Amino acid sequence: MGKVKAEYIWMDGHKPTSKLRSKTKIIDGPVKKVEEIPEWGFDGSSTMQAEGNDSDCALKPVCFTRDPIRGGDHILVMCEVFNGGEAHVARPKDPEQVNDREWSEYVFVRANPKGIYYERWVHTHGCKKWFNAVRNTSTDEILKVYKLGETPPSVKEFKNTLKSPSGEPEMGSGNFTVKKP
């Protein structure tokens, strides 16, 4: 197995007209499937895709093609941009066939449970790699971490102990500043 240059390409957040951005990563190749291309992080504050105080973003490869300039096994990789948040959000299998409502639900709608939650995190001050974490949102306890692409652990592995200092019901805002009478 050799090394290839993968040119990650994405749209930035400039208004009113987005610009193309790219950066190159050396990966193992040749690449046969998009699943073989790793996700990669970047600072989204310079591309208008994140605030400066929370600017880590991830590039998720969605398709690739042979690089016509570099040639050989080198590739161009088209990417979606993700901030942290809910893990394992499935991209529509055939995005050209979904309607506007379905696409907006994929882009904007996320679960917000109280209890066990699967999240995407980045090691900001260390290796800059993204990983998944299982967290209890009512206690902020990290229950398990695992690599991107690994099978998520079953929710049955964890005891869902809802704790709320304000005495909130199991479903709710998680606003701990509101005290119940």
The answer to whether residue 85 scores a pLDDT higher than 80 is no
Q: Would you say domain 2-83 falls under CATH 3.40.710.10?
A: no
Question: How many angstroms separate the Cα of 144 from the Cα of each of 89, 120, 147?
Answer: 18, 12, 11
98-122 mean pLDDT: 81
The answer to whether residue 134 scores a pLDDT higher than 70 is yes
Domain ranges (residues) in the chain: 2-83, 84-170
Tell me which residue of 91, 92, 90, 88 sits closest to 116, measured CA to CA: 88
Q: Would you say domain 84-170 falls under CATH 3.30.2270.10?
A: yes
Please name the residues in contact with 107: beta carbons below 8 A apart, sequence gap of 6 or more: none
Q: Provide the pLDDT for residue 138.
A: 76
Question: Partners of 144 in the beta sheet?
Answer: 134
Higher pLDDT, 111 or 5: 5
Q: Provide the pLDDT for residue 52.
A: 67
Q: Provide the pLDDT for residue 125.
A: 66
